[in-house]
Amino acid sequence: MRKKRYRLFIISCFVISFICVAFQNTLAGSLDSFEQSIEKDNAKDQEYSSRNSSSISSEQCESDSPPFKCIGYFMLKTVVSGLFDGFFNELLAGGLESVARVNTSINIKINKELIDKYVALHIDDQTEETKLKYEIHLRELGDPQLPYARLDGSYQYISSNVSANDYRLALGYGPFAFKVNQTQYTELSPKDSLDLTRLYITYRMSSGATQIDIGMGRLVIDGNDRSKLFYSTLPIRFHVKSLISTKLWPAWLSNTGIEFKPAWSGNISDYDLGLFYHFKFASVKAGYRWLSTDTQSLSGPYAGITVFY
């Protein structure tokens, strides 16, 4: 069943991202120490790449007489190709569903075509009753999923000496969105500041109560120096109502949501776990954010608001 497979895909993404959090150090440090750890660790990465430039290449392993140490390459290739075959099918299906949810002029046609195609390929029971189980939930105005525009603002407490203000802007339609996120860190003594600006595009997959984004772009670091790094992220957001029965729990729980936003850039790991309470066109949120390198961390609780359309 498509919904069951989609939920498994969501859970897998969530588990993989959360496992990464468990391996992060949470040592608190000043802004200078944090910035220096980025530069130092990036230098280590370059040194490591230089030392390993003579390692086995894929061209050697694909030759007629591959060396014995290519066995690991072939094992990895087999596993990855099997995983990605189903993975990309889910990516395509998730994007098409996002298109159908927001395009009110053609969503009925797309809805029917997607359902008919999926049921024909994967379901033995071809009745209309079965097809109704796969009906796509159309996006309503004011829904926090797949917003055309979203603006976030939050304040984060890191220590008595360090805090941060975070601002996010997202503009999108259906499965695609452009996002800008700036985090401004301030240290009181010694007086210092560090700005992290992320500019990236995302591919949004939404099934109604759940949304997964895959994003890639650029991270700009402004502190004592200015540097740029490749940036990737895999946010996962869902409403609590998709996990509980409203018959057993208070009705207000249906307005709550959870968002987990893992991101990676060089040796920087950024994990944001937030809880939301939704109104129409707006949400209040609170959570905890872990931003760390191998040796330093700028982590702490935060609270803020989100406005979306």
Query: Would you give the distance in Å from CA 270 to the centre of its chain?
Result: 11
3-state secondary structure 149-199: EEEEEEEEECCCCEEEEEEEEEEEECCEEEEEEEEEEEECCCCEEEEEEEE
In the block, residue with structure tokens 């895999």: 234
Distance CA 57, CA 76 (A): 14
Which secondary structure element, helix H or strand E, spans residue 223, and what is its range?
none
pLDDT, average across residues 286-301: 94
Q: What is the pLDDT of residues 171-201, one digit of tens each?
A: 999 899 999 999 999 999 989 999 999 999 9
Q: What is the pLDDT of residues 53-99, one digit of tens each?
A: 444 455 555 555 555 445 555 555 555 555 555 666 667 777 777 87
Mean pLDDT rounded to a whole number for the chain: 75
What is the CATH architecture assignment of 26-41+143-308? Answer: Beta Barrel (2.40)
**Are 260 and 13 within 8 A, CB to CB?**
no
**Are 70 and 61 within 8 A, CB to CB?**
yes
Cα–Cα nearest to 32, from 190, 215, 196: 190
Q: What's the whole-model pTM score?
A: 0.70
pLDDT at 115 > cutoff 70: no
End-to-end CA, the chain: 32
Distance CA 36, CA 41 (A): 8
pLDDT, average across residues 294-305: 94
Report pLDDT for 27: 44
